[in-house]
Structure 1
Amino acid sequence: MSLTASRAALLHIALQDLRAGKQLLVERLPPLAHAATDSGLRDVIERDSVNARHHAARLDDMSDLQGAPANLWMSGILDDADRDARSHQRGPIRDIALIGALRKAKAAEIVSIETAMALAGSESPAMLPALSANYAEDRAIEAQLAQLLAGIAGPVSAA
């Protein structure tokens, strides 16, 4: 196995990882939306699924991202979400668990996009508008999920 030796190569790997994660979301969010009982949560999950498809297309427009390895972090988070959908009672309990899992996915995506944006700043500034658009949409979904959590579970105390 060769070692990654340049920022450009690391950017390409970061984009491949993001693209693989988006593909998993495209495939695996629809059943999670169906498992949600809160209509607002269902709407946010469905919107995120549509966003994931658009984000994947933006990433594909940036670079040839074929041959990406599996995205282990997104796969694991979505495995947890699938388990939550099957193992928690339908209603607020399941919805809260799904929100938690989906917020973990968003947090991982946001950090990964920030890394790609930092690398693109010096290696390929032309990528920044598309990455920034994906970033803004993911941040908006995460904020909506946080708001839904507060509405379904009650306010979160920082104490």
Structure 2
Amino acid sequence: MPIKTLEDLFIHELSDIYSAEKQMSKALPRLSRASTNPDLAAAFDTHLEETQGQIERIDKVVEVLGIRLKRIKCAAMEGLVEEGKEVIESVEKGPVRDAALIGGAQKVEHYEIASYGTIAALAKELGYKDALPLLLETLAEEKATDEKLTLLAKAGQKAKAVEPA
């Protein structure tokens, strides 16, 4: 279906992020198991719960607006998930892998922040007052997760700095 209107674009973008969230819900347990830092593993586990809530919120948006999502696969998330698999396969378990996992997770968060920001702006423009708070709630969660990952990365660098040589 060609995208001709803002509503078409909204549905396309919402469908894309729905696919992205579904892909992440499958990838997060693998990331948790692959990390050696217990705080990082816990962050992945917490984000899995949040991601499941975000999927439910998208379902609510669909219900509230009476729209149907397109069956598409988010190619961007597919690539980011594949990068995560490559890290797990090619980087030895330990602090370097953890740092790479954090970096990959932040790429995901930045993609999701951009996506939800766009979708929320479209919802506002289209007057979707019932959907907008749901989208903004998810956007805030994605930003908070990005902040947590930044703190974990900084903590990892500080720990590395004080390790005996």
Which range, TM-score by smaller chain? over 0.9
1:3-31 Cα distance to aligned partner (Å, 9 max, x none): 31111111111111111100001111101
Structure 1 window deviating more from structure 2 (11-20 vs 60-69): it is 60-69
Look up the match of 1:55.
Answer: 54
Partner of residue 21, structure 1: 20
Q: Is the 8 A contact 1:77 1:101 kept in 2?
A: yes
Q: How does 1:67-78 map to 2 (within 5 A)?
A: 67-78=70-81
Q: In the TM superposition, what whole-angstrom CA distance separates every residue of 1:98-134 from its partner, at most 9, and x where no partner exists?
A: 0000000000000000000110002112211100110
1:84 aligns to 2:83 (yes or no)? no
Any stretches of 5+ residues in structure 1 without a counterpart?
A: none
Match of 2:162 in 1: none
Deviation digits for residues 37-88 of structure 1 (CA, Å, limit 9, x no counterpart):
0011001111111111110010011115543211011110011011111211
Residue number in structure 1 paired with 2:32: 33
Residue in 2 aligned with 1:135? 139
Distance of 2:150 and 2:97 partners within structure 1? 15
AA aligned opposite 1:44: A
Between the aligned partners of 2:61 and 2:75, the Cα distance in structure 1 is 22
Residue identity (%)? 25
Give, in angstroms, the shift of residue 151 of structure 1.
1.1
**Whole-Å separation in 1 of the counterparts to 2:41 and 2:89:** 16
Question: 2 CA distance for matches of 1:29 and 1:74?
Answer: 12
- Alignment length, in residue pairs? 154
Distance 1:127 1:134 in 2: 11
C-alpha spacing 1:31/1:65, structure 2 compared with 1 (3 Å)? farther
- Higher CA-based Rg: 2
Structure 1 residues 6 and 66: alpha-carbon distance in aligned structure 2, compared to 1, 3 A threshold: closer
* Segments ≥4 residues shifted beyond 3 Å: 64-67
1:105 partner letter: V
Aligned to 1:153: 157
Q: Taking structure 2 as the reference length, what is the TM-score of the superposition?
A: 0.89
- TM-score normalized by the length of structure 1: 0.92
Question: Residues of 1 paired with 2:47 and 2:40: CA distance?
Answer: 10
C-alpha displacement at 1:89, in angstroms?
Answer: 1.2
Structure 2: gaps spanning 5 or more residues: 160-165
